[in-house]
Structure 1
């Protein structure tokens, strides 16, 4: 069965995309919003959104969201807007996250401030869901720091372009929070236990490894982005062109500007390290993960010791919540994801770890103070405590999040635009008797020769297959994650 990059039918699954335009409410600027924190530009059929707070690493705030949403709504309705690009000003960051300092300060004001913080997340998640279900081609230039709120603006896009300057992370457990902005949907669907590992540890991926991991769909050098923008502006679509055809044209256009992957930047989350991640982070409880890390030997022992040290620095509450989130989020639809995350976020605004973590993280003292978490340490939590349970219970007083549209799905309708997954490779290996080289050639051809595909498929084959007497690849007995 060919795996040619294509958009899956959005009606696949138990929940289908619905509605063609925002239906629930109008979001607009308010008096006092910053004047130029977002810059919009039109060039032929291209529409660009530039986050314009470079001095704050383009951290996302409510003022920016209130500008972005109505413009995206306008463009979705317009026949003149063909492609939307989201990018960040400056050369440091796409978007380093949400403006958590403001939220922490609000929380210190008590219940009213905590409600105001929750309202920010409601606004942010509405934008994230709208991006995830947007019905025009949307491209995120993940050039520079892409963390937290920046991930919400990029990870749900059909096209996510990493560069040599990209630094990706979901750093929430470092500040007493949980991986939000739709991470409950994206991370559990990554290969193996990679998503759980990134969620609990807040580990970073950089440059080409953002692409190798599947977080990005393409890798370009940052100097290529202006030329790509100009080329995207020249694209013309026919009125009757399907979204599938339009995305296919854009996919080929992006690859025109590929100049090669860094030769000295191998796949990080592969080989023995990847095996160790799957061994340790596929466990069902935090104590079992800790125990598995303690038992690691051989070439991954040093990694395991470092990872243990990292976990014990994180908010114990956040680590437990994040693990449960990774286990239940894989069954949430995209709409349910943001509704459930909103409830969890509102509860974290009432938890002392968030203010404690943000204050310590943003402290200018040297060295920065060590957060005083409540509870203080992973070792202080008994398995029967179930400190994560209250965050997943629907509580009175937390309003239901009303999303901008009724669109919904269970799997990304455009996931074939990304890199091959382990399940993709497994299917080809098991459905046909091919040599490893033939499997690699199959995927390179199906992806139109996209750079880096052979490297990704070769790593999967080396780790997950053996070779029979005829030189054919055999998938190992362990089921692909």
Structure 2
């Protein structure tokens, strides 16, 4: 059992200074919509928005008329590009009082993310456009996460002297292989269908049919006695009606290394499996000597990318991902709040935000400490000290029907593509009958979901061997990756 204290408190209240129009709420029959409405700021999340969304989500939990919640962003560019970190950096410059205000903002944000992660009603996040940082917290813990051709997903926190928060400790280590470690340390962007194949999104839909999908969902009528799981299954089938032909993950010009499959994926798992940043960099140096020119280019570029990041952020992030694999969903946000509060008092956050986001044009951050060697284990330990009962983040009291507050695996995994371990289990049962049989069985289990066949075929090509030309078995760990 976790030793991290889990405590609950009441909902935050709106303040007189809050912007009345930064979030728009609407109803369409059984659907309740949340529209983040700061398009000029790429719908960046702030305290005013969180204070509105939290009580509204609770109100809908209590309403028999509210069947489904859908969250989206206003304007053509972004779902939500992150939190309003420029404001936090300015506050932090005021010293301990300002840093406490910034820590309080993260408390508010994490309460909201945790409520979404354990919500008692179906919740759909439409990741149409830029989805980063704070936008990831509003979407990635939901049972349904819709990517479109405009989706640009990233966790760019190490770029600004921070760490991948908003529950990143939970969802990143639970992605296949070392995808989560790679995304966290490099801030690599996933475009469109790449977010779907990586397991970040559960569905891929063209943005032109989103309005029709919302109308169709609003018409759904659930039996009063239907369980949450049954309702989610009906919604899953309905969303799937709008999934058309999937584009190729290689079709995004702006994503040089975005298709995380085949040889590149093997290289990611090979190089990012280590528990120290130095070992990862060493593995990348070795990879940069590869005879495969594309892999060598990728390894060189990745080394340069990591060298630009805050050394403190890199060390804290890698430890966070390794430890977070053991944290439950509530513990995740309590522990992350402690880490975030510590970063508010660390010089790298103000330096990173100022250099990368406030200065025009952006400048190169001067990190303190400047090198990995100068960041000691004791320095990192301070971020991971278990919070005392007094300082521990309080979460909002769960409503009747809420999900288990201490789950350690997402309860709705079946709505995304199968994971590699799901596929491995089917190989164990049916591998003797060949790859075709394995693909058939996974397709049947996942209700012939779009993208399943492609993912299974890619995983089988990378992870299985055949000795007789038909029967397949999973490669042992010692085998060449």
> 1:298 — aligned with what?
291
User: Residue 40 of structure 1 aligns to a residue in which SS?
Assistant: strand
User: Residue 379 of structure 2 aligns to a residue in which SS?
Assistant: coil
Q: What is the deviation of 1:470?
A: 5.4
User: Residue 47 of structure 1 aligns to a residue in which SS?
Assistant: strand
Q: Distance in 1 between matches of 2:304 and 2:347?
A: 22
Contact 1:312 1:377 in 2 (8 A): no
Task: Note the alpha carbon deviations across 1:247-285, whole angstroms, 9 max, x for none.
Answer: 110111001111211146378111111111111110111
Map 1:313-332 onto structure 2 (within 5 A). 313-332=308-327
Task: Note the alpha carbon deviations across 1:366-387, whole angstroms, 9 max, x for none.
Answer: 3x21000001133x437x5553
Q: What is the deviation of 1:239?
A: 0.9
Map 1:347-358 onto structure 2 (within 5 A). 347-358=342-353
Q: What is the deviation of 1:184?
A: 0.2
Q: Distance in 2 between matches of 1:416 and 1:75?
A: 25
Contact 2:83 2:135 in 1 (8 A): yes
Q: Distance in 2 between matches of 1:452 and 1:84?
A: 25
> 1:3 — aligned with what?
none
User: Is 1:391 matched with 2:389?
Assistant: no
Task: List, as ranges, runs of 4+ consecutive aligned residues in structure 1 with deviation greater than 4 Å.
Answer: 395-398
> 1:375 — aligned with what?
369
Map 1:398-477 onto structure 2 (within 5 A). 399-405=391-397, 407-432=405-430, 433-469=432-468, 471-477=470-476
Q: Distance in 2 between matches of 1:479 and 1:214?
A: 26
Q: Distance in 2 between matches of 1:116 and 1:26?
A: 17
Q: What is the deviation of 1:452?
A: 1.0
- Alpha-carbon spacing, 1:282–1:375, altered in 2? closer, same or farther (3 Å): same
> 2:402 — aligned with what?
none
- Alpha-carbon spacing, 1:394–1:203, altered in 2? closer, same or farther (3 Å): same
Q: Which has the higher contact order (CA 8 A, sep 6+)?
A: 1
TM-score w.r.t. the length of structure 2 is 0.92
- Alpha-carbon spacing, 1:397–1:117, altered in 2? closer, same or farther (3 Å): farther
Task: Note the alpha carbon deviations across 1:18-52, whole angstroms, 9 max, x for none.
Answer: xxxx9620222111100100000101000000000
User: Residue 388 of structure 1 aligns to a residue in which SS?
Assistant: helix
Q: What is the deviation of 1:467?
A: 2.0
Q: Distance in 2 between matches of 1:305 and 1:439?
A: 37
Task: Note the alpha carbon deviations across 1:96-139, whole angstroms, 9 max, x for none.
Answer: 00000110000000000000000000000000000000010000
TM-score w.r.t. the length of structure 1 is 0.92
Contact 2:10 2:397 in 1 (8 A): no
Cα-Cα RMSD: 2.0
- Alpha-carbon spacing, 1:302–1:172, altered in 2? closer, same or farther (3 Å): same
User: Residue 189 of structure 1 aligns to a residue in which SS?
Assistant: coil
Please identify, of 354-363 and 110-119, the stretch whose mean Cα deviation from structure 2 is larger: 354-363
Q: Distance in 2 between matches of 1:385 and 1:411?
A: 29
Among 41, 57, 64, the residue aligned to 1:79 = 64
Q: Distance in 2 between matches of 1:467 and 1:386?
A: 48
Q: Distance in 1 between matches of 2:409 and 2:150?
A: 29
Q: Distance in 1 between matches of 2:168 and 2:388?
A: 25
Contact 2:204 2:246 in 1 (8 A): yes
Map 1:183-202 onto structure 2 (within 5 A). 183-202=168-187
Task: Note the alpha carbon deviations across 1:436-465, whole angstroms, 9 max, x for none.
Answer: 122112222222222111111111000000
Aligned residues: 460
Q: Distance in 2 between matches of 1:36 and 1:303?
A: 44
- Alpha-carbon spacing, 1:455–1:479, altered in 2? closer, same or farther (3 Å): farther
> 2:274 — aligned with what?
283
Contact 2:335 2:387 in 1 (8 A): no
Contact 1:152 1:182 in 2 (8 A): yes
Task: Note the alpha carbon deviations across 1:264-313, whole angstroms, 9 max, x for none.
Answer: 63781111111111111101111111111111123211111100000000
User: Residue 131 of structure 2 aligns to a residue in which SS?
Assistant: strand
Q: Distance in 2 between matches of 1:301 and 1:405?
A: 51
Task: Note the alpha carbon deviations across 1:157-210, whole angstroms, 9 max, x for none.
Answer: 000000000000000000000000000000011111111111111111111100
> 2:44 — aligned with what?
59
Task: Note the alpha carbon deviations across 1:38-71, whole angstroms, 9 max, x for none.
Answer: 0001010000000000000000000000000111
> 1:94 — aligned with what?
79
Map 1:224-235 onto structure 2 (within 5 A). 224-235=209-220
Q: Distance in 1 between matches of 2:353 and 2:153?
A: 19
Q: Distance in 2 between matches of 1:166 and 1:419?
A: 17
User: Residue 232 of structure 2 aligns to a residue in which SS?
Assistant: helix
User: Residue 265 of structure 1 aligns to a residue in which SS?
Assistant: helix
